[in-house]
Structure 1
Amino acid sequence: MDIEWLVELRAEVLRADLARLGAFDEHRVRERMRAAFRPQNTQVIVVDGADAGSISLREEQDARWIEHFCLAPSAQNRGIGSAVLEQVLPTKDPRSFKLNVLQGSPARRLYERFGFAACEQDEVDGV
């Protein structure tokens, strides 16, 4: 798995929202991905035979976290995010799923359609 491709994809996908929030930093957005990356938790999303995104699932004792769920702009608004969540969310595991999403991000609509609700938030993220 090419971490640098994922780092660049994350920077590209988050750029507009982070800039809108006054929080985009070219170096920080990439370093956060490198620091948090766990290849064993990450799956590459392939669309039409090409790598188009990623999703990571991190398990904790009381919750499962969806992290680094990024789709290339060319793969957005095509139902791909919904298809990925439809595969990830059904489980017999009683722990809830959690995630962070940037304030005002269009991705919030996707998560809300799948029953996610804000639990807490700060000036950048909502959970």
Structure 2
Amino acid sequence: MREEFLHFKMMMVYINEAQKSRLEEFFDEINFYYYGIHKKVETVWSEKLKHKNTNIWPGTDCIFLLTVPEKSVDMMLKYLKTFRMSLPQGIAMSVGILPMDRVIPRLYVEDIPVDEELLEKLKNKHIK
């Protein structure tokens, strides 16, 4: 296990889907690229603020899953708060921070054993 891939946090950023491209551009501006995006997420923020993709509760949100070194979490929070302050007041945006045991950026080359018998089965399954 390589030390450089330990001590990370996952930051889950919930934001109105209409702001998705704006947040992506912001990440480009700060040279941050370790994230994934889940679109069309229905959320309930309060009794009166719901994004359920219906006529009564229109809109959806998206979730950005950021992989951030533990030592950089406070700086990322500062960046995200600064970004949020640039948006109109009514935009819903929140952040959750979760522990991560480790990050494996390239599973193919990681020093993890392979189940050879299962590998053969899988390879043969797709060769017909």
Q: Same fold (TM over 0.5)?
A: no
Question: Under a length normalisation based on structure 2, what TM-score does the superposition of the two structures give?
Answer: 0.28
Using the size of structure 1 for normalisation, the TM-score is 0.28
RCO greater where, 1 or 2, for CA within 8 Å and sep 6 or more? Answer: 2
- Higher percent of residues as helix: 1
Bigger Rg, which one: 2
